């Protein structure tokens, strides 16, 4: 049966009829949906311009005697700590400005920063400013909060619950498509030499300017210029709000299971990202030696461009596979397998992937397995994260979920940094040993996922009298 069954197609535009292949579209909804689809497509396209460059820049940032993997791991942890403060600060700004003003100013702030970092890139105006790659790495995390996260808040504000359930999955395809397009463009531009890596930051500003215009267009179309005042609800945001949610987690087995799964998911994934980065740097170093490169600046440029090109291609395949999984697998797997099927998918793939990487820790194998893991995380596991919260009450959703999505995700980053610190300086672990340690973490992750599935089923039974297909 068509998803648009029961809808009067004679009143739909041609675009709305096309969108009907992906979700139920009613007359008059297509225009805003297409604008929002284009908006997030452009935002994610710009984000992956910056994200690919981030990996290349930090690859040339030497900090004392730290290895490349240590620099990346510790930078991720510093970013996590700063994010906790930024979430609270951003929440206060949301209480002072209406949504269009907030989004416009936050996006312009990011564009201004891009221009500043364009001047500071190594080998451009300056040879190599100390720790500039670390600062840029941390800033990219802020960029994700200010621009990517606020878009989804905008979506939740303009759509009602019923309409949002139909529109958000469609718009999410635009997000995945934008990531794939941005990654592919980076790879093509850098590999062909059409654009040097220094220009990627300036190119990323273009889609963001258009995004601002689309946001204002949608805001005017919806004619709901909501400008919440700073009140009791807003004053409870920030670190205090997150800590109260963290205490709530300890009172519920459902929330505790969700928190542990979130922590282990992020710990495993961040460990994998750090190991992938380390293997890339080792491979590029060997290639530079094979080419007979001895000049320091030439080696730095080779490393930066090689890392940027690799991640451009890597992110392209991750987002392309994620797009296919999101469009054709996620909803069907949920329909026929229930919540358990989509919740177990990622840890099972991670177990197979890290076992293979422990046996054969070469770049080709690690790249292929990480593509499988990340693509599943961005699609099927992302669906599981949303479905998880459907049967629980409002207090759990609005107090427990923000704590889990911030504190426990960041704790996973911190544990990943600690893993590098202990593994490198105290245990002298090999790359294979790091992968084997990740396998042990995945086994724990699987155990807590099974516990979470059981608690989710209990919550579904309590809410509806009997478990539904998602429980």
Q: What is the CATH number of the domain that holds 444?
A: 1.20.1250.20
Task: Find all residues with CB under 8 Å of 153, minimum gap 6, and list them.
Answer: 94, 99
8 Å CB contact between 51 and 140:
yes
Pairwise CA distance, residues 61 & 354, whole Å: 28
In a domain, 1, yes or no: no
Q: How many domains does the chain have?
A: 1
Which ranges constitute the DSSP H helices of 30-131? 30-58, 68-94, 99-120
Is 7 inside a domain boundary?
Answer: no
DSSP state of 63: -
In a domain, 310, yes or no: yes
Does 447 map to a domain? Answer: yes
67: how many CB neighbours lie within 10 A of its CB?
15
Specify if 9 maps to a domain: no
Token pair recorded at residue 377:
């995380």
In a domain? residue 13:
no
Q: What is the DSSP letter of 126?
A: B
Is 77 inside any structural domain?
A: yes
Give the domain range for residue 153: 22-464
Distance CA 424, CA 440 (A): 18
Q: How far is CA 350 from CA 399, 413, 452, in A?
A: 29, 17, 18
DSSP state of 397: I
CB 53 within 8 A of CB 191: no
Both tokens of 359, joined, read 């046996």
Residue 15 lies inside a defined structural domain of this protein: no
471 residues of the chain, pLDDT tens digit each = 445 555 555 566 666 666 666 666 766 677 888 899 899 999 999 998 888 788 878 877 777 778 878 888 888 888 777 776 776 676 667 667 787 888 898 899 999 999 999 888 776 666 666 678 888 888 887 787 678 777 877 876 777 656 666 777 778 788 888 988 888 888 788 777 777 777 888 999 999 999 999 999 998 887 644 444 333 344 445 556 555 556 667 788 999 999 999 999 999 999 999 999 999 999 999 999 999 998 888 898 899 889 988 988 898 899 899 989 987 888 788 878 989 999 999 999 999 999 999 999 999 999 999 999 999 998 899 878 867 877 877 666 656 776 687 778 878 988 999 999 999 999 999 999 999 999 999 999 999 999 999 999 998 887 654 443 433
> Helix axis angle, 30-58 relative to 150-158, nearest 10°?
170
Are 444 and 331 contacting, i.e. CB atoms less than 8 angstroms apart?
A: no
CA 413 – CA 76 distance, rounded (Å): 7
């Amino acid at each position: 049966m068509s998803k648009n069954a029961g809808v009067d197609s004679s009143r739909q535009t041609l675009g709305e009829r096309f969108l009907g292949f992906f979700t139920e579209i009613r007359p008059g909804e297509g225009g805003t949906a297409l604008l929002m689809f284009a908006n997030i497509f452009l935002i994610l396209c710009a984000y992956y311009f910056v994200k690919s460059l981030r990996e290349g820049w930090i690859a040339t940032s030497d900090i004392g005697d730290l290895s490349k993997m240590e620099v990346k791991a510790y930078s991720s942890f510093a970013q996590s700590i700063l994010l906790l403060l930024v979430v609270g600060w951003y929440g206060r700004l949301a209480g002072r400005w209406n949504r269009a003003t907030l989004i416009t100013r936050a996006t312009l702030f990011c564009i201004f920063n891009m221009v500043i970092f364009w001047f500071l890139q190594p080998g451009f105006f300056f040879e190599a400013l100390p720790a500039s790659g670390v600062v840029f790495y941390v800033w990219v995390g802020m960029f994700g909060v200010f621009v990517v996260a606020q878009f989804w808040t905008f979506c939740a504000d303009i759509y009602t619950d019923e309409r949002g359930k139909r529109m958000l999955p469609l718009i999410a395809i635009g997000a995945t498509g934008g990531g794939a397009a941005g990654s592919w463009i980076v790879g093509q531009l850098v590999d062909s030499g059409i654009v040097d890596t220094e220009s990627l930051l300036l190119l990323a500003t273009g889609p963001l300017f258009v995004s601002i215009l689309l946001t204002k267009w949608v805001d005017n179309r919806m004619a709901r210029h909501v400008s919440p005042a700073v009140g009791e609800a807003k004053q409870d945001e920030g670190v205090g709000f997150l800590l109260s949610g963290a205490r709530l987690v300890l009172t519920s087995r459902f929330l505790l299971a969700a928190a542990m799964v979130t922590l282990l998911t992020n710990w495993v994934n961040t460990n994998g990202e750090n190991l992938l980065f380390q293997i890339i740097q080792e491979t590029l170093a060997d290639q530079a030696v094979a080419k007979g490169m001895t000049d320091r600046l030439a080696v730095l440029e080779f490393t930066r461009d090689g890392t940027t090109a690799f991640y451009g291609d890597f992110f392209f395949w991750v987002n392309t596979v994620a797009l296919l999984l999101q469009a054709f697998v996620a909803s069907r797997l949920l329909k026929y397998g229930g919540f358990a099927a989509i919740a177990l998918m990622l840890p099972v793939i991670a177990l197979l992937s890290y076992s293979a990487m422990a046996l054969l820790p070469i770049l080709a194998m690690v790249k292929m397995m990480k593509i499988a893991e990340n693509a599943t995380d961005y699609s099927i596991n992302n669906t599981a994260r949303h479905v998880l919260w459907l049967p629980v009450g409002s207090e759990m959703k609005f107090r427990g979920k923000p704590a889990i999505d911030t504190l426990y995700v960041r704790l996973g980053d911190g544990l990943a940094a600690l893993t590098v610190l202990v593994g490198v300086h105290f245990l002298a672990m090999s790359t294979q040993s790091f992968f084997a340690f990740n396998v042990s973490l995945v086994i724990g992750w699987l155990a807590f996922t099974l516990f979470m599935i059981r608690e989710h089923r209990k919550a579904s039974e309590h809410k509806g009298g009997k478990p539904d297909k998602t429980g």
